[in-house]
Structure 1
Amino acid sequence: MTVTNGIDVTTSDAFAEITLSRFADGLWLSAAQRAALLAELASLEIGRAGVLLRAADRVMARHADGGPDLPSPDDQEKPTMADLCRAIEQAPVPVFVLLEGMVAGAGAELALAARWRIATPGASIAFSAGRLGRISGAGGTQRLPHLVGAEHALRLLIQSRPIPAPEALVIGLVDQIVEADTQAEIVAAARAWAQANARLMRKATGTADAKAYLQAIKAVRATAAPDSLAMALADCTEAALLLPAEQGLALEATLAAERDAMPRTLALAHMARAERRAAQMPEALQQIKAGPVVRPALVGASPQMTALALMALVRGLAVTVLEPDRNRLVAMLQTIASRQEAAVQGGTLSAAQRDADWARLRTVVDAAEIARADLVIVASDTAVPESRPAVPLLVMGRGPLPEGALRLVVWGRVAELGLPANCPAAAAVQAMAFLRRLGQTVVLTGVQSPLGISGRLAGAGAAALRALQASGVPPDAIRAALVDFGVPAPAMPQAELGPLLRLMQPQEIVNRWLGALANEGARILASGLAQSASDIDLVAVFGLGLPAESGGPMYQAEQRGLMILRRDLVQWAAEAEVWRPVPALDALVSAGRGFSGRLSQG
């Protein structure tokens, strides 16, 4: 066995097995690892029966979370992924790939380049570049249509959703599924199948019906915008049928470079980085082991508690609700029932699932009844009940925090969690895992705040809308500008319309609103409430509803330039205090720094 740059090579019976390990920084298939794999492939003897590629951790993706590959300088280093995939495709011996878990991005491209793909039943494959509006550039748009046809290829590339291995087998993306009890047995079964089929050449059936192939492309083009990802992928898929292989690959590479430079792609990549950063466990908590939450208790019947109860129920948890006020409790239960019924009518929830969820919902009026709960969340303006010391206690609202409790602010898909200095580590880990299980994006805050980042941003945004109305801009014009920008129709705050009608361009309306958010964001960052500007963008997008392709208010401000932002704010400040530049922003502009720099208090 030889080991080089995370490439483990073992040989037996004229068959080679290459295992790709993930580096300590979590990355997989870096330039160094690509070079090492390329060297191993080049050294294979022509007489060898074949080679089986697999991932050591069963995750065949650049990142362990299986998320989309982000544009990186490493992409341009030789050998590129395109070089590696071409080498696998043209290797002197047949290359098989074993897919055991999540296969995404670069891993999916590598799998396409192999002659045969062997998978376990639990494996799934995702061409995740489309989530960022990207084209991988490694040749997938040329190889995939030859395997599965244009219709399936375009669906997989545009939607970027994982396809389970059994479905992939049906459409021709996977060639064989192997089942076994242990990983060693899985690898042995894959090797046996590979050795038995090493001399066979796979026939590309995806292009057999050229008429149907071109019809699928035509259907996508009929609804795609001229500069959309779908249109670019349709062009690539057409090239896979009509152009020689090298020309098709060259077209894909050109379109991939164009899309990587698009503002929308750059903004989506920023958001993906922000999500990945927020998902990282703080270093002090990384070694803490804590069991999962299975019996949460919700104290209070607020709308936020109703939403949390629904999230927990749909994920199979037993939920206890403590609410002494019968009227509030009945209103909460009616809301839960109506939303479940709407889900049943909409086909997203079966009647049996609804009944099972309802059976796991327990209501009590005595605090002693939540003694068995393994996590307690207390609503705003609600008395905090006594709980066991080891149980995570999450408190919403302005009230004082009991010893060891965590401050929770929920807004949209974001859960802001304030960890006090004396917070029990196991409680913090359990709380974060529970909120993520509910589908929330967890953002850790540096100081305790009842409003949180989301409340502060929402307040600044509302103040900007009031100021616009007071200056004479019609509410309908404000609403239309924000909706066109991609924000759900905002509820306009109560404000008196100025005495004179003021016509304002939609872009200026949006800029003023974003400027107020960025200005407040600078204040939030300086106060220590937010740990990074990207956390503020996450809250703005997943909490307040800004479009992901905007990148958030802090990203937008960076792209326009902080000097431009400050200039605009100075001009607008004569109309309303919300636009007066905060001292922290002045300091950044004076120092020529961006929001990524640490801010002083102010």
Structure 2
Amino acid sequence: MTSPVTWENRDGIALITIDSPPVNALGHAVRAGLWEAVEAAEADPAVRALVITAAGRSFPAGADIREFGKPPQAPLLPDLCDRIEVCTKPVIAALHGTALGGGLELALAAHVRIAHAKARVGFPEINLGLLPGAGGTQRAPRLIGAEQALQLMTGGRPVRAADALAMGLLDGVVEDGLTEAALALAADLVADGTAPVPTRDRTEGFRNPQVYAEAIAAARRQPHPPEQPAATRIADCVEAALLLPFEAGLAYERAAFEELQATPAARGLRHAFLSERRLSKTPEAGTEARPVEHLGVIGGGRTGAALVLSALSAGLRVTLVERDHDALIAALERIADIHEAEVARGRLTPEKRDEDWARLAGSAELPRLAEAEMIVEAVPEDLGLKAEIFSQLGRVARPGAILASATAALDIAALATAAGRPADTLAFRPWTEIPRSGLVELGVTPRTGAEAVATATALAARLGHRAVRATGPLLGRMMGAWAAAADGLLLAGSTPLRIDTALRGYGYRRGRYQAEDLIGLATLSGLRRPGLADGLAARGRTGCAVGAGWFDWPEGTRRAQENDEVLALVEAERQRHGLPSRPVGEEEIVLSCLLALIAEGTRVLADETALRPSDIDMALMIGLGFPRWRGGPMLAADMMGLLDAKNALAALAPENPELWTPADLLADLLKNGRSFEDLNGI
């Protein structure tokens, strides 16, 4: 097998090139190839210095995600970095693209670092619940001190090459000709005859021990959530860089890394990282998207207005169509009000607002959408009305236009039939009701074409959203089960405040009833006994205005106010069904809502609504605010043990079989010794 690492002698300089697309990740083959190249170049008397560079779009951008959770294979990255650092000949690392995590640690092990001006470097490990584990916590502080090293490692965000140069992390930055500049630098080092100082022997960052210690103390004073222990351990390791000999510091770092790697939070964050990347692995992956520069939107309500605003912000031309002139004026005023509020908050400049507004056209006639490359219908959930709109769109839309519905639950296949364009029709459902959701559900049918899916996915990304492909309602179903479990606890004797407090304590961005106020009972409620939901909706419990909702959430604070009328209604419903009231603890609240998600997740997988378990997890993390560090309900089922999950559901099933009975898939996994993770693939 051809190695992903090659080297050649360029006038006495060994040019070592990593070529492992797409991002030259530091998998086993790359590590082994680098080790062999360094060994061979060092042993070659005709070689006087080494330059490590990479082909393609980036210097190694970190670890190979395909190796996550698998037994490590030698050479390990820490050993490879040590091998490079102790090379008896000068080693220059030439960085371009994004040198992140292990890629930056590899560069730090070299004796000199030069980068392209557009390169970015950083330590994102904290986002996976980890710390740099290949010497990063020991080498970086030696170059740049504790404060800047801690900022890089606990912030997790990459910095520009110019900033890294100013810190002292890099030794040079060039606008172009990176490889040639690195070779010339190597030649200069050889001609000078002075051997570069290995990073382990550098002490610039230790010049002022008091300042160093104060930075450590300041980092420890920063509040960190208990589910993210990596920040504290990073501070410990950076302190060890000053206090311990280098080899002892490396050992301390490695022990801390392995300790963090074993935590549930790190497993959840790694799962979230992988799940996000799997979203792009669909049957339509690799299909070229059609260009979309002109978007049509039908309906200027909350969803439609949000689509218009995000499309304008992304630079698209937008034509908004409403049912009549009055509705159009109201929709345009709604959009203008949001624009003005953004300007007042300083999030949008008046110039940008005017530019956006100039690209917006409005009409009360569907034929005005004839030139749009994609049209999204966002009218109320009425199948007859939507079918009539799609029938007209089939006649007036340009050939090849993507026809989409923002429907939450209706049959997209019926709309595709009405349009007469099944290959170009799908659901495009942005969850705009949930603030900062960032989720778009793409609902496809067996006849939806690959180009339509690719185009809708590309548009979602351009609008700043992540797309989850499904064959039917996904997030709505999952949220319905979650809501039903919470409503059952309400009827059992809990209160909205206690339920939401427990859910937020678990890590959700918002509780079930806070979400209810934001979305509206008619949309979210999954209560299997309709009396309560109908009664509450009839009393206007659908908004989040002060005094109108279940809670008062002024200006984003966490203060919640019980509503006596709502609680009285719940009590009446409890008595009507002869349900006893009992104490409901926080653990029961959290577990019941989690089990409901797991059960519904098995049904979503069994009927192939979702491609894989991790898509369910990702939809809930993005759309509902399920805690990312817990990885989603399907991972939670694996972590609690599928047998324990099955037994817990069986105990609840008599209360509400429709809610608590999982699909046979759960028993099949148990029978075959498999997990939900096994269904995700790589």
Determine if the TM-score, normalized by the shorter chain, exceeds 0.5: yes
- Whether 2:117 is the aligned partner of 1:121: answer yes
Mapped to 1, the partners of 2:91 and 2:229 lie a distance apart of 35
Please say if residues 300 and 321 of structure 1, whose CA atoms lie closer than 8 Å, have aligned partners that are also in contact.
yes
Matched with 1:396 is 406
Q: Which moved more, 1:50-59 or 1:345-354?
A: 345-354
- Whether 2:146 is the aligned partner of 1:150: answer yes
Question: Shift in Å at residue 464 of structure 1?
Answer: 1.0
- Whether 2:35 is the aligned partner of 1:38: answer yes
Question: Shift in Å at residue 401 of structure 1?
Answer: 2.3
Question: Shift in Å at residue 591 of structure 1?
Answer: 4.8
Over the residues paired in the alignment, what is the CA RMSD in angstroms? Answer: 2.6
- Whether 2:212 is the aligned partner of 1:213: answer yes
SS of corresponding position for 2:624: coil
Matched with 1:84 is 80
Which of 22, 25, 29 is the matching residue for 2:26? 29
**1:463-486 C-alpha deviation (Å, 9 max, x unpaired):** 111111111122221111011111
- Whether 2:455 is the aligned partner of 1:454: answer no
Letter in 2 for 1:168: A
The 1:67/1:159 distance shift into structure 2, 3 A limit, reads: farther
Letter in 2 for 1:418: G
- Whether 2:271 is the aligned partner of 1:191: answer no
The 1:115/1:318 distance shift into structure 2, 3 A limit, reads: farther
Which of 494, 513, 532 is the matching residue for 2:593? 513
Please say if residues 467 and 575 of structure 1, whose CA atoms lie closer than 8 Å, have aligned partners that are also in contact.
no
Letter in 2 for 1:15: I
Question: Shift in Å at residue 106 of structure 1?
Answer: 1.8
SS of corresponding position for 1:401: helix
Which of 94, 102, 105 is the matching residue for 2:101? 105
Matched with 2:498 is 477
Q: Which moved more, 1:272-281 or 1:149-158?
A: 272-281
**1:224-257 C-alpha deviation (Å, 9 max, x unpaired):** 4477211101001111111110011110000000
Please say if residues 69 and 128 of structure 1, whose CA atoms lie closer than 8 Å, have aligned partners that are also in contact.
no
Mapped to 2, the partners of 1:258 and 1:15 lie a distance apart of 41
Task: Please list, as runs of the form range in 1=range in 2, the aligned pairs for 1:294-333 lying within 5 A after superposition.
Answer: 294-333=293-332
Matched with 1:468 is 489
SS of corresponding position for 1:509: helix
SS of corresponding position for 1:11: strand
**1:559-592 C-alpha deviation (Å, 9 max, x unpaired):** 1122222222222233334543134234444555
The 1:425/1:279 distance shift into structure 2, 3 A limit, reads: closer
- Whether 2:355 is the aligned partner of 1:356: answer yes
Matched with 1:9 is 7
Matched with 2:512 is 490
Question: Shift in Å at residue 543 of structure 1?
Answer: 1.0
Please say if residues 68 and 104 of structure 1, whose CA atoms lie closer than 8 Å, have aligned partners that are also in contact.
no
- Whether 2:270 is the aligned partner of 1:269: answer yes
Which of 164, 187, 192 is the matching residue for 1:168? 164
Mapped to 1, the partners of 2:108 and 2:66 lie a distance apart of 16
Question: Shift in Å at residue 434 of structure 1?
Answer: 1.3
Question: Shift in Å at residue 190 of structure 1?
Answer: 3.2
The 1:11/1:57 distance shift into structure 2, 3 A limit, reads: same
- Whether 2:676 is the aligned partner of 1:595: answer yes
Task: Please list, as runs of the form range in 1=range in 2, the aligned pairs for 1:41-52 lying within 5 A after superposition.
Answer: 41-43=38-40, 44=42, 45=44, 48-52=47-51
Matched with 1:159 is 155
SS of corresponding position for 1:439: coil
TM-score normalised according to structure 1 size: 0.90
Please say if residues 474 and 501 of structure 1, whose CA atoms lie closer than 8 Å, have aligned partners that are also in contact.
no
- Whether 2:634 is the aligned partner of 1:562: answer no
**1:247-275 C-alpha deviation (Å, 9 max, x unpaired):** 11110000000000000000111111111
The 1:360/1:147 distance shift into structure 2, 3 A limit, reads: farther
Mapped to 2, the partners of 1:208 and 1:422 lie a distance apart of 67
Give the percent of matched residue pairs that are identical in Structure 1 and Structure 2. Answer: 35
Matched with 1:246 is 247
Question: Shift in Å at residue 427 of structure 1?
Answer: 2.5
Matched with 1:234 is 235
**1:192-242 C-alpha deviation (Å, 9 max, x unpaired):** 234334556366422222221111111010124477211101001111111
SS of corresponding position for 1:149: helix
- Whether 2:438 is the aligned partner of 1:417: answer no
Letter in 2 for 1:122: K
Q: Mark the structure with the bigger radius of gyration.
A: 2
For structure 2, list consecutive stretches of 5 or more residues without a partner in the other structure: 381-385, 417-421, 432-436, 517-524, 526-531, 534-569
Q: Which moved more, 1:241-250 or 1:403-412?
A: 403-412
The 1:372/1:470 distance shift into structure 2, 3 A limit, reads: same
Mapped to 2, the partners of 1:49 and 1:317 lie a distance apart of 55
**Structure in which a larger fraction of residues adopt helix:** 2
Which of 128, 134, 141 is the matching residue for 2:130? 134
Mapped to 1, the partners of 2:121 and 2:24 lie a distance apart of 18
Letter in 1 for 2:415: L
SS of corresponding position for 1:393: strand
Aligned residue-pair number: 583
**1:437-463 C-alpha deviation (Å, 9 max, x unpaired):** 222221222x3x2xx110101111111
Letter in 1 for 2:660: R
The 1:67/1:86 distance shift into structure 2, 3 A limit, reads: closer
- Whether 2:551 is the aligned partner of 1:529: answer no
Task: Please list, as runs of the form range in 1=range in 2, the aligned pairs for 1:328-407 lying within 5 A after superposition.
Answer: 328-381=327-380, 382=386, 383-384=389-390, 385=393, 386-397=396-407, 398=410, 400-402=414-416, 403-404=422-423, 405-407=425-427
**1:472-508 C-alpha deviation (Å, 9 max, x unpaired):** 1222211110111112133255562335542222111
**1:519-539 C-alpha deviation (Å, 9 max, x unpaired):** 111111111111111111111
Mapped to 1, the partners of 2:146 and 2:346 lie a distance apart of 29
Please say if residues 486 and 593 of structure 2, whose CA atoms lie closer than 8 Å, have aligned partners that are also in contact.
yes
The 1:229/1:528 distance shift into structure 2, 3 A limit, reads: same
Letter in 2 for 1:259: L
Mapped to 2, the partners of 1:330 and 1:547 lie a distance apart of 40
Please say if residues 319 and 361 of structure 1, whose CA atoms lie closer than 8 Å, have aligned partners that are also in contact.
yes
Please say if residues 499 and 589 of structure 2, whose CA atoms lie closer than 8 Å, have aligned partners that are also in contact.
yes
Mapped to 1, the partners of 2:458 and 2:182 lie a distance apart of 35
Mapped to 2, the partners of 1:486 and 1:331 lie a distance apart of 38
TM-score normalised according to structure 2 size: 0.80
Mapped to 1, the partners of 2:267 and 2:504 lie a distance apart of 22
Q: Which moved more, 1:340-349 or 1:402-411?
A: 340-349
Please say if residues 325 and 363 of structure 2, whose CA atoms lie closer than 8 Å, have aligned partners that are also in contact.
no
Q: Which moved more, 1:568-577 or 1:369-378?
A: 568-577
Question: Shift in Å at residue 328 of structure 1?
Answer: 4.2
The 1:474/1:289 distance shift into structure 2, 3 A limit, reads: closer
Q: Which moved more, 1:515-524 or 1:497-506?
A: 497-506
Question: Shift in Å at residue 108 of structure 1?
Answer: 1.4
Matched with 2:565 is none
The 1:533/1:308 distance shift into structure 2, 3 A limit, reads: same
The 1:340/1:248 distance shift into structure 2, 3 A limit, reads: farther
Please say if residues 464 and 578 of structure 1, whose CA atoms lie closer than 8 Å, have aligned partners that are also in contact.
no
Mapped to 2, the partners of 1:205 and 1:354 lie a distance apart of 48
Mapped to 2, the partners of 1:122 and 1:336 lie a distance apart of 37
Mapped to 1, the partners of 2:322 and 2:48 lie a distance apart of 69
The 1:326/1:52 distance shift into structure 2, 3 A limit, reads: farther
Question: Shift in Å at residue 550 of structure 1?
Answer: 1.5
Mapped to 1, the partners of 2:305 and 2:110 lie a distance apart of 49
Which of 456, 459, 470 is the matching residue for 1:431? 456
For structure 1, list consecutive stretches of 5 or more residues without a partner in the other structure: none
SS of corresponding position for 2:157: coil
Please say if residues 21 and 28 of structure 1, whose CA atoms lie closer than 8 Å, have aligned partners that are also in contact.
no
Mapped to 1, the partners of 2:347 and 2:245 lie a distance apart of 45
Mapped to 2, the partners of 1:580 and 1:33 lie a distance apart of 48
Question: Shift in Å at residue 27 of structure 1?
Answer: 6.2
